[in-house]
Amino acid sequence: MSNYHIKHLEEYFQVYRNSVRNPEEFWEEIAEEHFVWRRRWDKVLKWDFDAPEVTWFQNAQLNITENCLDRHLDTRANKTAILFEPNNLEEAAQHISYSELHLRVCKMANVLRANGIQKGDRVCIYLPMIPELAVAVLACARVGAIHSVVFAGFSSIALSTRINDCDCKMVITSDGSYRGNKTIDLKGIVDVALEDCSEVSSVLVVNRIGSTIQMKEGRDQWLQPLLDKAKSTFTAEIMDAEDPLFILYTSGSTGKPKGMVHTCAGYMVYTAYTFKNIFQYREQDVYWCTADIGWITGHSYIVYGPLANGATTVMFEGVPSYPDYGRFWDIIEKHKITQFYTAPTAIRALAKEKLEFVEKYDLSSLKVLGTVGEPINEEAWHWYNNNIGKRKSPIVDTWWQTETGGILISPIPYVTPTTPTYATLPFIGIQPALMDENGEEMRENQVEGRLCIKFPWPSMARTIWGNHDRYRDTYFSAYKGKYFTGDGALRDAVGYYRITGRVDDVIIVSGHNLGTAPIEDSINEHPAVAESAIVGFPHDVKGNALYGFVILKETGEGRDRENLKKEINQQITEQIGPIAKLDKIQFVPGLPKTRSGKIMRRILRKIAGKDTKNLGDISTLLNPEVVQDIMDKAL
């Protein structure tokens, strides 16, 4: 048997060495022993990063849903596949078994086929975090359609842009969604979006909140009556290993979204293997990732990775602050969660609240904690470790991207010794390279540079939908023969990696390269500070100077602002050096963020540089209203 479940550090190094010395043999063994195939591959890997073209498991045939559902029916039919925790407390949690999920996916696949959806067609899914979202994703995969999930918080403009970019024939949505104590009119947003989407011929609507909505005759149908009439069996479409599985849009620096294309076989193998190891999942565990399936984290580590391992995966419809700031911890106690995977943004927000929200719940079931979306700062790491993990549950600080499909750098819990703010070691098969300013690889330790990957891994995106040239130019043109992540990183004396942020967040001040992440970490350690973001702005003498946008904790609101600014700069001076001091500090009520929690520094740079005429589309932000407030009080 291959090393599918790594148990100690010596084994990690042994398996890692094997995976990089003999990558084709390594991944072939994993693929053969742990997945079901309709046809075996002719060649494991064919690649050329200059083209760029990557093929894994060439000419193999499979259907990913047979690996996520059908093969579990003999041994796990009655095991909970999806544990749905609704937004509203008066609604009971749902335990959807593997046999029930299989039935629901087959019925949904029949509905899709009856409404004209064929292999290769694109289907846009715009749903809240309800079971129908996971069912729709899997049903698309079962019929061979390409799903494009759009987070159900994006504006009608953002939605129509994504629908049109990949020529979707169908939209699956709901009448509305719950978000805390509010409801959102999703169908109304879809109706506005579809005014500009001539290719969409069918809209299927889930009745979630029971609201009165407009239904367009000949286009819109309630989903449930169709499911009630649908057959309960559906033979899965046979897919080629390199057939597209899904398109997922990610923000580009140009403002035009990039539709990253992920394919069937390599994505399945890698997400399943990373899930099993990075969360040390075992058969009776109850795993919870708090992300939305509208993001890559939800695709890989709520749906496909867990289900391919026969896991119990939690879907949460609500928000961490409703009905109060103890909701996460209540769910952990209620369902005896063993692995908990969330974003540093959520951790920082919850850490601002009273500790009594945590202390009243029993969190002893937790075995592994995880973070995703951005590097976690040291203060948040320690709060998470001390108060949630009780210093017994390792934190896996995972680094990866929409483009990578799966986690690339992360500790393995109970295997890799952790260090706060470090993603630690590359995962099995991943070959990172740090590049210097001359484009040369730095092979020694205790260096900092631009992070590239120099050998393909199975789950990497194959292209940008409809624009392979952009794919090549964005990811493969900066360093010949290497995938450029766009991130900077440092490698310490023992070979651990720390992600320092996007390289466009590296600011050259008086000839010194300053990464924003360490400066923000320093600021965030101040007892009055909740969160911060640093950008550069033009300076006559230094070239660039540093502008800090700082959110205060409640305890800092009453403090003298000038004294606070001095204390913050003193802290930076002590921890990093006087070169990193901020020329301007603006206290703000919030920071512009994407729905996945990433700070939109592009907007902050424009505000700091007094270039606010063209901020681009801000409607897709989590909190677009905060932008005007920041602009009004800019220094």
Q: Each residue of 49-95: pLDDT tens digit?
A: 999 999 999 999 999 999 999 999 999 999 999 999 999 999 999 99
**pLDDT-based confidence at 252, cuts 50/70/90?**
low
Q: What is residue 510's predicted lDDT score, i.e. its pLDDT?
A: 63
Q: How far from 474 is each of 204, 252, 479, 504, CA to CA, in Å?
A: 36, 9, 11, 13
CA dist 263 and 622 (Å) reads 29
First to last CA, the chain: 62
DSSP state at residue 154: S
List CB contacts of 8: < 8 A, sequence separation 6 or more: 415
For the chain, percent of residues with pLDDT exceeding 70: 97
Contacts of 605 (CB under 8 A, 6+ apart): 535, 536, 537
Mean pLDDT to the nearest integer, 13-19: 97
- Mean pLDDT for 187-216 is 96
- Give the SS3 label for residue 23: helix
- Encode pLDDT of 351-387 as tens digits: 989 999 999 999 999 999 999 988 888 999 999 999 9
List the structure tokens of 112.
């899709």
CA distance 187 to 199: 18
How confident is the model at residue 506, as a pLDDT?
Answer: 67
User: At which residue do the structure tokens 């998470």 appear?
Assistant: 384
Low-confidence winner among 77-86, 248-257, 462-471, 617-626 (lowest mean pLDDT)? 248-257
The whole-model pTM stands at 0.85
Read off the pLDDT band of 595 (50, 70, 90).
Answer: confident
Interatomic CA distance for residues 117 and 199, integer angstroms: 13
Per-residue model confidence as pLDDT tens digits over 380-436: 999 999 999 999 999 999 999 999 999 999 999 999 999 999 999 999 999 999 999
Per residue in 23-36, is it b (16+ CB within 10 Å) or e — as a string? beebbbbbbeebbe
Q: What is the pLDDT of residue 541?
A: 66
Nearest-angstrom CA–CA distance, 272 and 308 = 6
